[in-house]
Structure 1
């Protein structure tokens, strides 16, 4: 690397436009930030120092837009979307901001002239892993689209000190490592200590009559925690709008007890600080134990209360009355984690601001919308009544009153139906008493939506059927989407350049325009270019796999990829059974004609989810055998990609030939990985589940590999008394696959290692792997045959990309804006704050 220029001395003439975009201005700003912020000169600077200097250089160019945006929203009192989510899986900020600012090429040139590699600097960024997967990634896509569409918005969540764990694979097993994403600092955020608020926990309530003769309640808490906001600008694509992601960090109201310290109690002197900060310490603490449950509920109350108090502060700052709350804010509950907001807003309005019940309830129900993300009844949150009452004594009183009034309405609409009353009640009294958070969200929201057409229908038929019967007008659908800026433009610049060379770049903001490349699907030259780009990307991934795992994979083989959270309903083990099926064919006939495949898996299992962790071990064990068997002769390779995250996803989606979306029909709410794969030209093998249904409708049935039972067939089979052992006994191929696992062949002769997996499949099989097995195997044979005709496969791939316009998160946000939030764009004009 060449020697970088020295930082400016006092005699150097500095350009007036310190945030200009010329190459020379960018280089000077970069060196200034290295010197004045990082406190380094080139001889001592690390790659991370260079990354931080570049990040601050880019952030400087965001700030003008950010401040203009905030000022415009304040002056216009713009109606604002507040997106409440326990997860925001943003991914690295630098590359995305370069794309959205439109300065990727300038920065690349500036770094090159300074002897630095932009790609290396991009890899230095620590990913803020503030989410588990789809829920948090969706929230991130929606923030990108809200800004791009110039919609006033605030994202509210928790600034977890430790995000989702880093994943190591040791002897085939997942090992969780602490994710210290903040260890080198975060150049994208700005702390706002002057906007800190306090959150109460525990204690008791006291009722009294105020000076106007009104019944009031005072909450006397046991513990008070301070919430400190950290703001990150979220820039839209080639617009001036920069919205805010506001994440809350927990602190003690008093960090140090001098009395305890002076009396010799050194631990007690800092105990309150440590106890309070635990609330924002880690993403989703393991809640199998009681203390974990307490901490998780504390987290939910913490960020919801902080956020609602912040909204009230904004209202007051803009001289708007609390009566205007639902006109100023539309608050979306991203799943049930923020559902306590219904009770907390009632408490704030009544107890802190003196409002009467009816008025407060009218404001509350007009404010909230609730997005349901699951069809799994066990995933609908509920809290033990004892725990809830001890931690949030005022909220349980409010919930009881909401419930009393609500059940009176139910009795009027459905008289003499005690079963319905029991199911709709906010309190589950069927055994140990629980508070049902989904019920609270439904009662307290004006709109309830699912996240795919099939999912929204199933929500109305199953988990929320009684609420649909009660409030049919509340229910609607908003099919999920993903941002093409990160998952095509940033992730796949070569394909982006090819498409743009044919149809211009307007598609990046209007993804429906991708339809225009359909005309090139039958152009041999375009197909050749498209195929060459895919091969080059696959080679890049193959090189990365070799460097990370020392496994060599063939980039000309079919890249068959399944990357997502590891869960039994997502059926990674069905994919694994197919690998064993192909392996058995080769062992029976070593010269068998098998379409070469590279099977790539990635994803994390919840730390307490034993079966998911066993599936990871199972996949790695299969790979250990298959990858070293000389009979296979390179026709099959199996690789588990450790520590799958957004940064790694940006490598994987563009390299896929086949996208595995094989969940049991009726279990996946939507999925968004399926969309990212298809946008990048992967073909899908999948069931009629979640958004797969709509993807197949858009790309055409002939460009989608469909298998498996439908939702109705799954329900019928279970109702008839499903016996997985019958499939094992009647299907010789399946029996050979299962027997090979049970024999210990993939576990060094240990017949006990995968026994729980085998027993579950043969005697329970909740997710109907064995019922779908033969259909899956047959469909995979169709995939193999299709891949042998590369030219036709490429045509199908082009059509998948061309027809994915519906699945932009921009379309999703337009749907929300029109049907639920009732908000309009607010364009931002730039002002220069540096001029007097």
Structure 2
């Protein structure tokens, strides 16, 4: 027995009970099966065994988790608070086994209980708490923060229903409920003692106190309770376990007997319904006003809960709120938590009695803002009528923040009222809006983009006025992804081969992959590399057959485009190339091409008609191509439904070619491009987002480049872009577009894809036609290269070996150095480590 003393009580840790011997692990699984799950072995299901195993692993994390929190408190560390409306964590079990370093011994223990570890790992429900890249990036950053020993805490919403399950029916996306909590969540711990209250609506009253100070009282007409659920986030072999705290909304009073007794049966539970709706589902469709209201409620709810919690933690540690910004740094992951700027001001001024200037000093030195988009429509704006009804006090605060800010603008740029109007947090054009990105810019110490091109475009275009006012605020931190999940866990075959040559160090230090470069010219190693890649493709082919019934050849090129479905990401440009090849083969069945399997995956936003139509186009083309015996030995098209982290762990390792074909200047960064390249896929892409940095890192000769640059896209649009002229002048493109419009790929229905065809012919907002021929020519180069397996393998190895800088560990080190001014902390060492 080991005894550890804390401030509150003596904590007894039984080393034998939570040791990592096979015997202790077997006993732990059996104990948790009986005492936690409540089942005997002879009647337990696979889900029961998974749950017992998960609790057994969690038992071995808890001591690290508690020790981490105690050491942070003891040494008075500065803490990073990462606010994100999404955390797409993925399944925990396999990742925790890797980070604990106990996979082999767990596998043996499970086998001795006549169970299969891989099968149990597959029983875990995935928390669908994110739409895509934003939430997955947040998850990667939490992994790296813990791995690097950075004191940190993630805050978000514990959505009861996550990102919808996607089914494909008659080629169309159908959204289905994702009740990921149906069987519980063994990794989380409910903390009701740390509940907070959050208000909505109501009215404000102002007065001058006896000292003549202006005071305001906000009286909300709805108050909900935020209940935290904590999950330990374990670092890779670091001894550190940070916390992800997700908030669930509950009613203060779930049932009102007085209303029930008076016959108001709906009113008796009305507060419960209102409160629980807030954390019910991830990002409701905001096409309707109610959807917009609920989305704003969600954003304010988790941000207010989190800030109140930070203040409580800060004061409990014995600190004064006057130095809140010295102990706490808050990162806003996009605009969703940007209401935090007004909320922290409210808490400091209205609740804790600070004067405005001191409160603003604390607030503006607490927050930092990460921008994730170059699309103006994605910079959130809230209509004043909705904002004022839900958050009347915050609207008053924003008016005051804006008035003081515009005074600064006028002083720096006198007699430039056009600039003042452009920069105002309140958009006065037509219906008035609150510009949330501008609130974040005004209230943050730093503003960062997520790729070099993205940051430069923020400076020159999207946030140009703010850059001219505060150039020192703007910093670039290129995104990264964790090599733990996206290589070590998802691609064990390739990981084992790499480890056999360079050791295990690369898992915690991805720069060590550069040692693989010396093997790129070794024909024996290239053969081994092809062998493990083929094995991974066989596994994916089996999955495709099970999920879709489509049989694909693992020796064909796996050409993958898996990401959110959006016009700017140009999945339909990929389809145009597929149809170009289709027509070529129909004209000449003897044409020599590299057999290719085109893999698509991704979800369209429920209210985004054109994205849904693109999915229908992909599935309709697949129906024709896959059933045509003249072409289906050379071409296969597969749309894999319900793309998520689990699915990604199968696709990223198996891809030969990564499609990163967004219109230049539209993708902020991308992280799928990094995951593919890290696993050895070659990239075909534009000079967009992080593609530019990936191309520079892996070597221009190992990247298939096509298309206009961001500057050329802007110039083309400025000069007047006429897609119909390109259609008329390019016979191959005209044949493809006419085929889509004729109904050839829609069972004779010529009207089905008319909205898509008309959009391309008349406006083509994302310049598919302008890049079409360059894309086709580049794809022809890809075909030629794939027919030379030695050359392809050499390029693949160089791609994987040169991806060290795209680890999220490097991103977090950049944040620590350039934005957060924070040092690493080595658990047990008693002192912070160097930056």
Runs of 4+ with deviation above 4 angstroms = none
**Structure 1 position 42 matched with structure 2 position 41:** yes
2:625–2:632 CA contact under 8 A, matched in 1:
no
Which position in structure 2 is the counterpart of 1:771? 770
Q: Deviations over 1:358-403 (max 9, x none)?
A: 0000000000000000011111001001111111111111111111
Residues 562-641 of structure 1 correspond to what in structure 2 (within 5 A)?
Answer: 562-641=561-640
1:104 aligns with 2:133: no
How far apart are the structure 2 equivalents of 1:580 and 1:97? 44
1:161 aligns with 2:160: yes
Query: What are the superposed Cα offsets for residues 35-94 of structure 1, whole Å, 9 maximum, x if unpaired?
Result: 110001122111110110000000000000000011111122210000000000000011
Check conservation: 1:230, 1:247, Cα contact below 8 A. yes
Secondary structure of 2:228 counterpart? strand
Greater alpha carbon shift after TM alignment, 26-35 vs 503-512: 503-512
- Tell me the secondary structure at the aligned position of residue 770 of structure 2: helix
**Residue 200 (structure 2) pairs with residue 192 (structure 1):** no
**Aligned equivalents of 1:525 and 1:590: distance in 2?**
36
Matched, 1:370 2:369: yes
Q: Secondary structure of the equivalent of 2:231?
A: strand
Question: Which residue of structure 2 aligns with residue 546 of structure 1?
Answer: 545
Runs of 5+ consecutive residues of structure 2 not aligned to the other structure: 1-12, 831-835
Cross-structure match for 1:497: 496
**Alignment-derived partner of residue 218 in structure 1:** 217
User: Where does residue 235 of structure 2 map in the other structure?
Assistant: 236
Could you say which residue in structure 2 is the equivalent of 1:532? 531
Deviation at 1:830, TM superposition (A): 10
- Report the counterpart of residue 704 of structure 1 in structure 2: 703
| Secondary structure of the corresponding residue to residue 225 of structure 2 | strand
Equivalence map 1:505-516=2 (5 Å): 505-516=504-515
The aligned counterpart of 2:4 is: none
1:484 is matched with 483
User: Could you say what secondary structure the match of 1:37 adopts?
Assistant: helix
Q: What stretches of structure 1 of length at least 5 have no aligned partner?
A: 1-13, 832-836
Shift in Å, 1:210: 2.8
Q: Is the 8 A contact 1:15 1:25 kept in 2?
A: no
What is the TM-score normalised by the length of structure 1? 0.97
DSSP 3-state at the match of 2:524: helix
Secondary structure of the equivalent of 1:462? helix
Matches within 5 A, 1:659-698: 659-698=658-697
Displacement after TM superposition at 1:292 (Å): 1.0
In structure 2, distance between residues paired with 1:227 and 1:547: 42
Residues in 1 aligned to 2:64 and 2:14: alpha-carbon distance in whole angstroms: 20
Q: Which residue of 2 aligns with 1:180?
A: 179
Give the SS at the match of 2:122: helix
Matched, 1:791 2:786: no
Alignment of 1:718-729 (within 5 A): 718-729=717-728
Q: Is the 8 A contact 1:511 1:804 kept in 2?
A: yes
Distance apart, 1:592 and its partner CA: 1.4
Contact 1:226 1:252 (8 Å CA) reproduced: yes
**Counterpart in 2 of 1:417?**
416
* Structure 1 match to 2:780: 781
- Counterpart of 2:323 in structure 1 is 324
For the 8 Å contact 2:372–2:449, the answer to whether it is kept is: yes
Q: How many residues align?
A: 818
> Which residue in 2 is equivalent to 1:8?
none
Distance in 2, matches of 1:143 and 1:599, equals: 33
Match in the other structure for 1:59: 58
Indicate the residue corresponding to 1:519 in structure 2. 518
Q: 1:589 Cα deviation (Å)?
A: 1.1
Contact 1:64 1:830 in 2 (8 A): no
Return closer, same or farther for 1:16/1:359 CA change in 2, 3 Å cut-off.
closer
**Paired residues of 2:127 and 2:180 also in contact (CA < 8 A):** yes
What are the within-5 Å matches in structure 2 for residues 400-439 of structure 1? 400-439=399-438
- Indicate the residue corresponding to 1:4 in structure 2: none
The answer to whether the 8 Å contact 1:89/1:140 transfers is yes
Aligned-partner SS, 1:176: strand
* Preserved contact between residue 68 and residue 830 of structure 1 (Cα < 8 Å): no
Residue 282 in structure 1 maps to residue 281 in structure 2: yes
Which region of structure 1 is more displaced relative to structure 2, 71-80 or 364-373? 71-80
Q: Aligned pair 1:384/2:391, yes or no? A: no
CA distance in 1, matches of 2:713, 2:267: 57
Q: 1:666 and 1:744 mapped to 2: Cα distance?
A: 33
The answer to whether the aligner puts 1:645 opposite 2:644 as a matched pair is: yes
User: Residue 171 of structure 1 corresponds to which residue in structure 2?
Assistant: 170
Counterpart contact for 2:626–2:637, Cα < 8 Å: yes
Please say which of residues 233-242 and 589-598 is displaced more in the overlay: 589-598
Equivalences for 1:23-172 in 2 at 5 Å? 23-172=22-171
Scaled by the length of structure 2, the TM-score of the pair is 0.97
CA distance in 1 between counterparts of 2:452 and 2:676 reads 20
Determine the C-alpha separation between the residues in 2 that align with 1:459 and 1:143.
26
Partners of 1:226 and 1:206 lie apart in 2 by 23
Deviation at 1:268, TM superposition (A): 2.0
In the TM superposition, what is the alpha-carbon distance from 1:593 to its structure 2 partner? 1.2
- The C-alpha deviation readout for 1:695-736, integer Å capped at 9, x for no partner, is 000000000000000001100100011000011000011111
> CA deviation digits over 1:309-339, x for unaligned, max 9?
0000001110100011111111000000000
For residues 138 and 209 of structure 2, the distance between their equivalents in structure 1, rounded to whole angstroms, comes to 42
Corresponding position: 1:352 with 2:351: yes
Provide the rounded CA distance (Å) in 2 between the counterparts of 1:231 and 1:581.
52
The CA deviation at 1:669 is: 0.1
Q: Which residue of 2 aligns with 1:829?
A: 828
Measure how far apart 1:213 and its partner are.
3.3
SS of equivalent residue, structure 2 residue 606:
coil
CA contact (8 A) 2:567 2:766 kept: yes
Deviations 1:631-660 (A, max 9, x none): 114110000000000011000000000000
C-alpha separation between the residues in 2 aligned to 1:510 and 1:212? 59
- SS at structure 1 position matched to 2:42: coil
Matches within 5 A, 1:726-765: 726-765=725-764
Give the SS at the match of 1:629: coil
Aligned to 2:314: 315
Q: Could you tell me how far apart the structure 1 residues matched to 2:302 and 2:50 are?
A: 31
Q: Distance in 1 between matches of 2:664 and 2:267?
A: 54
- 2:10 counterpart residue number: none
d(CA) in 1 for partners of 2:43 and 2:642? 31
Structure 1 residues 605 and 47, CA gap change in structure 2 (3 angstroms): same
1:769-811, Cα deviation, whole Å (9 max, x unpaired):
0000000000000000000000110000000000000000000
Distance across 1 between alignment mates of 2:614 and 2:783: 25
Secondary structure of residue in 1 paired with 2:224: strand
Equivalence for 2:5: none
Whole-Å Cα distance in 1 between the matches of residues 299 and 818 of structure 2?
Answer: 27
Mapped to 1, the partners of 2:429 and 2:194 lie a distance apart of: 43
Single out whichever of 678-687 and 69-78 deviates more from structure 2. 69-78
* Secondary structure at the counterpart of residue 124 of structure 1: coil
Q: Following the alignment from structure 2 to structure 1, what is the Cα–Cα distance between the partners of residues 209 and 351? A: 13
CA deviations on 1:439-477 (whole Å, 9 max, x unpaired) are 100000000000000000000011100000000000010
1:391-402 pair list within 5 angstroms: 391-402=390-401
C-alpha deviations, 1:503-553, integer Å up to 9, x for none?
A: 111111111111011000011111111110000000111111111111110
Deviations 1:246-268 (A, max 9, x none): 00000011111011222233322
Summarize deviations over 1:196-248 as a string: whole Å, max 9, x none: 00001111111122344321111011111110000000000001100000000
CA distance in 2 between partners of 1:548 and 1:140 (Å): 27
**Deviation for aligned residue 1:113:** 1.2
How far does residue 16 in structure 1 lie from its aligned partner after superposition? 6.0
Measure, in 2, the Cα distance between the counterparts of 1:110 and 1:634.
45
RMSD over equivalenced CA pairs, Å? 1.1
Match of 2:335 in 1: 336
2:365 aligned counterpart, secondary structure? helix
Retained in 2: the 8 A contact 1:240–1:830? no
Q: How does 1:268-307 map to 2 (within 5 A)?
A: 268-307=267-306
- Matched with 1:468 is 467
Residues 678 and 684 of structure 1 are in contact (CA less than 8 Å); yes or no, is this contact kept in structure 2?
Answer: yes
